[in-house]
Amino acid sequence: MAGFMPDWSLQRKGATDQRRHMEKIKQALKERLPDLVSDESIVASDGKHVVRVPIRSLEQYKFRFHPWQGDRVGQDQGQGQPGDVLGKLPKRSQQGGQGDQPGETPGIDYIEAEVTLDDIAGLLFDELGLPYLKPKTKATIPEPTFKFKDISPKGLMGNLDKRRSLRQNLLRNARETGQARVGGWRDDDLRFKTWVDEPEPEDNAVFIAMRDISGSMGDFKKMMARTFAFWMLKFLRTQYRAVEVVFLVHHTQAREVSEEEFFQLGESGGTKVSSVYQLCQEVIETRYSPQRWNIYPIHFSDGDNWSDADNRRTVEVLEALLPHVNVFGYGEIREGGYTSTLMSAFSRVKHPRFKMVTITQRQDVYPALKTFFPRKEG
């Protein structure tokens, strides 16, 4: 057909719609992150849990007449405009006064998209980072790291540095003949890349996760502490290579436990918070030198401590730890509007790297993660 110009954008329509669809899914997930992060079924899953998220559907395809080709059969000649309401259905009468009046407003089409734990984690981790993270060198001998950082006149032809060899040949010809040119190659013109074995500093970080397992930590408090720890560990192991985690629990006494015990131990006994802070201090002094490790202790409790004397002792140990850690986080899980004696004692600690959060409902886990692990230091 003469003058026909194909619209190649139609060939990309499917990919464009797919991209718009994925953007809608991403936006819907972002809006629901506070709820999804604290969803117990997701936290307790094996990582294959699928979540159904309602998303407003895309506009459906429809026929549209060409605006420059005049009238066509089926086109009305009236004064109506696109979107005008042509009529309304009559209201349905209630039967015997039972039930709600059916609505007249058209609904909004929604579809359900299936997303996995990794989809949720990806959006969450985009907003998280390790504050004050610094490169550290481990005490142990690392794996050999080879880097081409030197140039030598002798070497293997596979390591020939062509740019430097050409430059050397050009300079030699300019010195000897007065003419800058490439040619008349000699072995002395060749330059080779050589490697050095250099230990590479890594962002070595240790997280000391501490959890109150005293009798006052009920089901809600226990679940919130576990939920935060779950996302914290997934974030660390996904985003950072050289990270270790130490698990500590306490009631009146503190002890180190395995990861499985940390998540599964029940509640019993009284509370002596200073015991776990002293154990944290011992772990740092004996195993994780601040010169070689980025250190992040995180403690979750309901703030019910056995005495004001132990609150003071806890603050003393905390203040001794703060100069040696990157960030120390305290999360207090409450049911109600009270302020604990421990939180009151901590409120007098003024240090830029001591962060406190309060969790009173499930949706508070998400902002708590952003407070402890901000993308930008502040």
CA nearest 287: which of 244, 237, 316? Answer: 244
Distance, in Å, from the CA atom of 83 to the CA atom of 371, rounded to the nearest integer, reads: 47
Check: CB of residue 306 under 8 Å from CB of residue 250.
no
Q: Please tell me the pTM assigned to this model.
A: 0.63
Q: Which residue type occupies 184?
A: G
Check: CB of residue 367 under 8 Å from CB of residue 374.
no
Beta strands in 241-282, from DSSP E residues, in sequence order: 243-250, 254-257
- Give the mean model confidence (pLDDT) for residues 139-154: 61
**What count of Cα atoms within 13 Å lies in the side-chain half-sphere of residue 69?**
6
- Give the mean model confidence (pLDDT) for residues 40-47: 62
CA nearest 261: which of 291, 229, 293? Answer: 229
| pLDDT for the residue 86 | 65
The CATH number of 205-372 is: 3.40.50.410
Q: What is the tens place of the pLDDT at every residue in 294-327?
A: 999 999 999 889 889 999 999 999 999 999 999 9
Boundaries of every domain in the chain: 14-62+110-126, 146-197, 205-372
Most confidently modeled range among 132-141, 192-201, 321-330, 361-370: 321-330
| pLDDT for the residue 203 | 66
**Banded pLDDT at 254 (limits 50, 70, 90):** very high
**Banded pLDDT at 66 (limits 50, 70, 90):** low
- Give the mean model confidence (pLDDT) for residues 90-100: 49
Measured in degrees and rounded to the nearest 5, phi and psi for residue 89 equal -75, 145
Distance, in Å, from the CA atom of 112 to the CA atom of 57, rounded to the nearest integer, reads: 9
**Banded pLDDT at 7 (limits 50, 70, 90):** low
Question: 170 CB contacts (<8 Å, ≥6 apart)?
Answer: 180, 181, 182
Q: What is the tens place of the pLDDT at every residue in 14-39?
A: 667 667 767 777 777 777 777 877 77
Between 365-372 and 13-37, two packed helices, what is the crossing angle to 10 degrees?
100
Distance, in Å, from the CA atom of 368 to the CA atom of 355, rounded to the nearest integer, reads: 10
On the question of pLDDT at 283 being above 90, the answer is: yes
| pLDDT for the residue 157 | 83
